[in-house]
Amino acid sequence: MGTMKRYLSVLVLAFIALSAFSVAYCSGEFDAITVVSWVTDGDTFDITTEETVRFADIDAPEYYEKGGNAATNYLNTTIYNKTVYLDIDDIYTYDEKNGEKGEGDRLVCVVYIEYNQTHYLNVNKALLVAGHAEIDDFDNEFNPNNWSLYVLKEEIPELSSIMLITSFIIATISIIFVSRR
């Protein structure tokens, strides 16, 4: 009976951990889901994990430059204190040349927010359309010339089969590990 309780405890803990993980990360183009805690300027903001995000492949004026105040205000109105869905650059991740996190580095992302029940809004593209930014196409996974302003939610699945398989494998390994102790 003690072994069975141990199995069940591990299974429950694994399920809770994987459920929390799947809320924060999902498949498709979204690598992370978080909330915006501060807007720095028209192309940079902070998230609740205390990281800074830099919009991929666009450049907006700094808040003190001509048009910078308008760009910052637009972004503030659009995303501040809202849930954002981040497609993090798979090639560089951070805007440092070597792609590794260093002091002051920023995540490079295409950023989405929920637009309505059926669509997400590509905020990078929205900044371009609103005239608050220009394309600054870097050598990364993104192509700003192919961006759509709106993306159908059904095109980005909430939980992939890979996530389900991974969850099963982790739970199984946890049970085997605990049973051998």
Chain Cα centroid distance, residue 66: 29
By residue range, what is the domain housing residue 133? 28-156
Number of domains, the chain: 2
CATH number for the domain harbouring residue 117? 2.40.50.90
Residue pair 108/92 in contact (Cβ under 8 Å)? The answer is yes
Please state the pTM of the whole predicted model.
Answer: 0.70
Whether 144 and 56 map to the same domain: the answer is yes
Residue 54 token pair: 């830099």
As a whole number, the mean pLDDT across the chain is 80
Residue 10 token pair: 């591990």
Whether 53 and 70 map to the same domain: the answer is yes
Whether 99 and 57 map to the same domain: the answer is yes
Report the helix count and the strand count for the chain, using DSSP H and E: 4, 9
Whether 102 and 89 map to the same domain: the answer is yes
Angle of CA points 136, 138, 141, to nearest 5° = 125
Whether 152 and 162 map to the same domain: the answer is no
* Residues 113-156 pLDDT 10s: 999 999 999 999 999 999 999 999 999 999 999 999 999 998 87
- Give one DSSP letter per residue of 74-95, joined into a string: HHHHHHTTSEEEEEE-TTTSBS
Whether 169 and 113 map to the same domain: the answer is no
Whether 88 and 145 map to the same domain: the answer is yes
SS3 64: coil
* Residues 91-103 pLDDT 10s: 989 987 555 666 5
Angle of CA points 164, 168, 173, to nearest 5° = 150
Distance CA 36, CA 83 (A): 7
Per-residue confidence band for 108, with pLDDT thresholds at 50, 70 and 90: very high
- The reported pLDDT for the residue numbered 155 is 82
